Amino acid sequence: MTSHQVVCLQSIFLRPLRHSQIEDIWASSMTAISANVINGHNAMTRKRTTELVDDYQNHVTRYGYCSIVDCRKIGQHLELSVKGCCNYAELYVAMLPENRGNAVFSMDEYVRKARSGIPPEGHTQNDLRSNNLARERNKMAMWWQGFAEVTRNCLLLSTIKGVNRYFKTEYTFLKVWWLVSIWLLFALAVVQVREAFREYYSHDTTIKLRTSGLGDTGAMLPITFPTSTLCNMKPVHGTKQEEELVDYFVQLNKNISDMINQSKDTISDTYTFSELTKASAFFQFLGTEKAKKYGQPHENFLIDCVVTTDVPGLSYKCADVAIVSTVQIATYFSCVHIRITREVFEAIRPRKISAILHLNDDDSFIVPGTKVLESDVQESGAIVTLSSQSQIPDDTYESIRIQPGTNNVINMALSLRMRLENPYGDCIRDPASNMSFAYTSSVIPYTKQSCEEACRQNEITRACRCFSAATRAVFDQNQTQDMFCGGAYSTFDERFKTLRCSIEATKAVERKCSSVCPWECEELLVDTSISSSIWPRDAQQVSFYNAYIEGKSFAGRYDAYRDIRNEYLNTRNASAALHKLRKETAIPRTFAKVELTLSKLEVSVISDEIKMSELDFVTTLASLMNMYSGITLIVVVECFDYIFSLILYFFFPKNVVDDKPPRQPTSQVVTSIDL
């Protein structure tokens, strides 16, 4: 190369450059040019330098970098062998004659053969395969570089606090500081958000207590005066009936003794024997229709009943504004049921029901032995059971005992228990109730208590083919037509086994019925407080006789009070009359007064509240993310912007990348530059 100084540009690494950097091209990128070229580099025009650099930039933008691994002179041209991502790309040929020089842009035969799959002379198929693999690797590098560039541009424009500061700062320390701070605060935000998710999906609830007016509770249940059930604790009335009661228990005692002597007494048998000695067993033995004749007629039990409103001086007879009915309950044979409808309650606003009860505790029998009768036929007095109209009266566990000769004031307060449905609770809202009150056949609303009783009765019917006298709610009213489990069977042994079967069936399904019967979402409860005083006073007994006893069917038992009254009216001797009244005990022993008072016209609402609602959850997430990382909803919009930019980059690039080289010139010599 004496006449033509040829220089190979060895291992040149090219990057896309801005036009402002063109001035430094020869000094920074083409450092391998020989001294001959360096001595004459100022002879190359600035214009051609710009064109060459632009060609390099376009090439590198599409293909990455090229490394020149071989160069040789062929005629007047310089052949360059390249490797990397150039895909056998354009070959830049530099020929430097001493007087004039040409820069030639060409495709050499080496490349054309390689493109057709034929290795050039001196090369093998493996060389060609290696070049293809290198091309694919550099395509991946190009893809990643483009992806990183799009991501960087989007982050520079992001509203996330601190990100743009990281890219704009010129100090490495600050870059590290911002990077650590951003990721640390983001990690804290993730921890807090995770805790918020855990709290939200734990479905925790809180209990809220508030007071509301009767019509402002927001409940679907009717808010009205509580239903009262009044029962005489002496179940059997009448001389003949009382004698049959004694005969029944005498025979029962004999049958139990014989059975115990014949078989080993077990715990379950003992409990069954105890059930047979209760008044309810005698009721079952008699049957519903016959038992009606043994109970006390309600007109002889409830001798006076008055409803007082919140308007001073305005009162009504119970029969005029309330539904007063007789209910047969096995334990007490006959009870009085007083119910005020919602419409009447809203119309007159009742505040108190005053009832005078005639207990008729005069007995005409003597109980032989010591353990013939259970306590439910040994006591004297009355019971009062208060419930909302959606509940069934529970005379076993929720009754109030009234002592004879007393005035009992029962202050009532309504409370509404409101529960949440799944997933925050296990209540059921507005179930289609198919239950009815066993004693009256009337349809009753769904409650957990009534559902459990009806469930237990289903099992008793299936296992024992009988009806339990303790059942107050049923799914199928036809079940009440079955014989009582303690009824009058043909033999005592059959009666005993059937009653024991019902007891065992009840125990067997206790847990099952409790689990299959969810709570009602709204439950109206009656809270009570009780106070009492001796009633009536001695001085009031004559007037009491005049007002409530004289003229009644049972007045003959109280003729002593009539005689005292007549004597006093004739003599006007008050001390003598009072002396005789103190000796008389018939009225204090057989009468009692009950005042059912609605203490206030408002309801205490006890409701389950969601600890973290959907709005609270979203607000918590927003505040946490904004506090720690400055992430707001606008970042979501920026994410769409970022995705859109990626789609444009991958599917609609400005320069389509393919395996073809740029459009070739028509001549091997592209241009010439005077040096």
**pLDDT attached to residue 598:** 93
Q: Which residue has the higher pLDDT, 313 or 47?
A: 313
Kindly state whether residues 8 and 121 are assigned to the same domain. Answer: yes
**pLDDT attached to residue 85:** 35
Q: Which residue has the higher pLDDT, 370 or 416?
A: 416
- Give phi and psi for 347, each to the nearest 5: -80, -45
Candidates 547, 545, 571, 548; CA nearest to 560 is 545
Kindly state whether residues 25 and 120 are assigned to the same domain. Answer: yes
Kindly state whether residues 132 and 183 are assigned to the same domain. Answer: no
Kindly state whether residues 9 and 131 are assigned to the same domain. Answer: yes
pTM assigned to the model: 0.66
**pLDDT attached to residue 665:** 38
Predicted confidence (pLDDT) per residue in 283-299, tens digit: 999 998 899 899 899 89
Predicted confidence (pLDDT) per residue in 495-525, tens digit: 999 999 999 999 999 999 999 999 988 888 9
**pLDDT attached to residue 125:** 55
Number of domains in the chain: 2
Kindly state whether residues 59 and 172 are assigned to the same domain. Answer: no
Predicted confidence (pLDDT) per residue in 575-608, tens digit: 999 999 999 999 999 999 999 999 988 899 998 8
- 145 found inside a domain: no
Q: Which residue has the higher pLDDT, 226 or 56?
A: 226
Residue % of the chain over a pLDDT of 90 = 31
pLDDT higher than 90, residue 189: no
| Alpha-carbon span 142 to 140, nearest angstrom | 5
Q: What average pLDDT does the structure give for the chain?
A: 76
- What is the arithmetic mean of pLDDT over 392-399? 87
**pLDDT attached to residue 91:** 36
pLDDT higher than 80, residue 178: yes
- 451 found inside a domain: no
- 78 found inside a domain: yes
pLDDT band at 371 (very low <50, low <70, confident <90, very high): low
pLDDT higher than 80, residue 82: no
**pLDDT attached to residue 164:** 79
Burial environment of residue 365 by CB neighbours within 10 A (0 to 12, 13 to 18, 19 or more): middle
Candidates 337, 357, 254, 238; CA nearest to 291 is 238
Residue % of the chain over a pLDDT of 70 = 71
Please identify, among 83, 104, 136, the residue that sits at the C-terminal boundary of a domain. Answer: 136
Kindly state whether residues 29 and 122 are assigned to the same domain. Answer: yes
* Lowest-confidence segment of 87-91, 217-221, 353-357, 441-445 by average pLDDT: 87-91
- 200 found inside a domain: yes
| Alpha-carbon span 475 to 373, nearest angstrom | 33
Q: Which residue has the higher pLDDT, 28 or 389?
A: 389
**pLDDT attached to residue 210:** 87
Kindly state whether residues 108 and 12 are assigned to the same domain. Answer: yes
Kindly state whether residues 50 and 174 are assigned to the same domain. Answer: no
* Lowest-confidence segment of 29-38, 44-53, 449-458, 523-532 by average pLDDT: 29-38
| Alpha-carbon span 615 to 416, nearest angstrom | 26
Candidates 16, 153, 163; CA nearest to 644 is 153
pLDDT band at 628 (very low <50, low <70, confident <90, very high): confident
Candidates 589, 563, 536; CA nearest to 358 is 589
| Alpha-carbon span 39 to 371, nearest angstrom | 135
Q: Which domain holds residue 83?
A: 4-136
**pLDDT attached to residue 565:** 94
Kindly state whether residues 127 and 175 are assigned to the same domain. Answer: no
Please identify, among 136, 169, 190, the residue that sits at the C-terminal boundary of a domain. Answer: 136
| Alpha-carbon span 520 to 387, nearest angstrom | 15
- 193 found inside a domain: yes
**pLDDT attached to residue 144:** 72
pLDDT band at 116 (very low <50, low <70, confident <90, very high): low
- 495 found inside a domain: no
Predicted confidence (pLDDT) per residue in 33-81, tens digit: 333 333 333 344 444 444 554 555 454 444 444 444 444 544 444 444 4
| Alpha-carbon span 465 to 281, nearest angstrom | 17
pLDDT band at 18 (very low <50, low <70, confident <90, very high): very low
- 27 found inside a domain: yes
Kindly state whether residues 129 and 168 are assigned to the same domain. Answer: no
- 168 found inside a domain: yes
Do residues 357 and 382 make contact, with C-beta atoms less than 8 angstroms apart?
Answer: yes
Kindly state whether residues 44 and 11 are assigned to the same domain. Answer: yes
Q: Which residue has the higher pLDDT, 26 or 549?
A: 549
Kindly state whether residues 186 and 75 are assigned to the same domain. Answer: no
pLDDT higher than 80, residue 98: no
pLDDT higher than 80, residue 264: no
pLDDT band at 182 (very low <50, low <70, confident <90, very high): confident
**pLDDT attached to residue 386:** 94
The CA distances from residue 106 to 122, 132, 644, 655, 667, in Å, are: 21, 21, 39, 21, 8
Residues near 557 by Cβ (< 8 Å), separated by ≥ 6?
362, 586
* Lowest-confidence segment of 265-269, 630-634, 658-662 by average pLDDT: 658-662
